[in-house]
Amino acid sequence: MKKHYLTPWTTLGILLFSALILSGCQIESEPKSDLDQIRERGVLRVGTLNNQLSYYIGPDGPAGLDYELAREFANELGVQLEMKPAFRISSLYPALENGEIDIIAAGLVSSPERMARFRPGPAYYYVSQQVIYKKGNWRPRTLEQLVSKHNSDGEQAATLKIVSDSHIKQTLNTIREHQHPDFVFEVDPEAEVSDLLKQVAQGELMFTVADSVELSLSQRIYPEIAVAFELTEDQPISWFVRRSEDESLYALLIEFFGYTKQSGHLAALEEKYIGHVGSFDYVDTRAFIRALNSKLPKWAPLFKQYSDEFDWRLVAALAYQESHWNPRAKSPTGVRGMMMLTLPTAKSVGVTNRLDPQQSVRGGVEYLRRIASRIPESIAMHEKIWFALAAYNVGYGHMMDARRLTKKQGANPDSWADVKDRLPLLRQKKYFSQTEYGYARGDEAKNYVENIRRYYQSIIGHIDQKPIEDNDGSIDDLAVIEPIELEQQTELEEDDQEPISEQLQE
């Protein structure tokens, strides 16, 4: 029998071919990275909380700080965004662990407990934990006073209640373990922080614990609640991803937040959603909440009828700032009616009777529209209304002076956060002497706009809150948003600085 032998070159070729085949099989069998899977899927799935800070459906569609950041991150990836909102934090954790979502973006503190389970992204703002009480009730100034008072009264039931799935629970457990073994508190497994804040406001609960930002937002709805004392120092708020050896998504997240911070865009978004929560006027807010119940139902149809392209709730907030929803309001300076129009302004928008609420609202909205139409295109769409409202109060020319002054000082004239800090300078001679329109009560214009922003937020929270009972706590209520290009900021053009007519300067 004849034997066949392979030549050395043939043998080498077969070995190389086999190695390539095996190598190809190994490459094909390797699991794809998280980032590759997202891009192949074409969708970034983000779990969030349905509230007024992270994600909600506004008059112009989806909105919220975490939503806008998630939309831009998805745009960076070139994929669609799928928001999966939940009413309870506890719904988000298993969804991330089971691979139903890629990221949790819900304004959550990077607590040790959460960091043990998930990987936090970079901090994008900070909050502290605060003990909350109702104004008029006894206020403990320290934790020692709270514990001592509870024990001296001999109460068996806890006077402080918190939510269950929370970094707050871990804080209180640590306090009880290492500082005050007799510290008594109750955990409500069914409640959210907003529920407990409402109970405190209504006198049904003595104390609870909430994050500082959440308290500030809730005070627009429940003005009776206040800070008894700070429980912790500032803590970082972060997004969370799964813990694994795959760092592809995590690495891109770090890069994204680094760029967003450096570009100033993160600061602009924070100004948009929480820039107005710094100050709180208890008396004014309490009066406003009463007016929401007693006056707004009567006038809401009128605001809705004439708001046109503006959110009717913003028009309502503007009207409250002007007249406290009093159609016959008058001032010594000659302004009249629901929108407090001057006589020349009223004539310019076709109002013949300023004390007629229908004419006043229609005329006020038309006047605001005229101003808004002149706001420079270089200003981001969501910020144009604040510039327009400032001009509504102090005059278009003075508002433009503040923008020029902002640019001269090296800040961004298209950023409301930067311009509002320069408006008060228009009172000072060394600054207004350099401007085209001179002296102005710019500090009043700043407060005017910030008040309207707060009233607007209160109206949204008051009439648009969706009870938790109406939702099963799942994350199935999703929305898919197509990827879009990020808004590009342009330089301030000289053409944008030309004065408006005398009519709009009053």
Q: Taking Cα atoms as reference points, which of 302, 306, 305, 309 lies closest to residue 325?
A: 302
- Residue 223, CB half-sphere, CA atoms under 13 Å: how many? 17
Active site residue 309: no
List strand residue ranges (DSSP E) for 419-492, in order.
Answer: 479-481
Main-chain dihedrals φ then ψ at residue 193, nearest 5 degrees: -55, -40
SS in 3 state form for 49-114? EEECCCEEEECCEEECHHHHHHHHHHHHHCCEEEEEEECCHHHHHHHHHCCCCCEEEEEEECCHHH
Q: Taking Cα atoms as reference points, which of 16, 3, 72, 9 lies closest to residue 44?
A: 72
Give strand pairing partners of 226.
Answer: 133
Terminal CA-CA length for the chain: 113
CB 77 within 8 A of CB 34: no
Rounded CA gap, 185 and 163, in Å?
Answer: 11
Q: Is the dihedral of CA 169, 175, 176, 182 positive or negative?
A: negative
Among 192, 214, 322, 450, the one annotated catalytic:
322
Rounded CA gap, 306 and 356, in Å?
Answer: 14
* Token pair for 172: 């209180």
CB 423 within 8 A of CB 410: no
Q: Which residues of 128-162 are buried (b: 16+ CB within 10 A; e: fewer)?
A: bbbbbbbeeeebbeebeebbeebeeeeeeebbbbb
Q: Which residues are catalytic?
A: 322
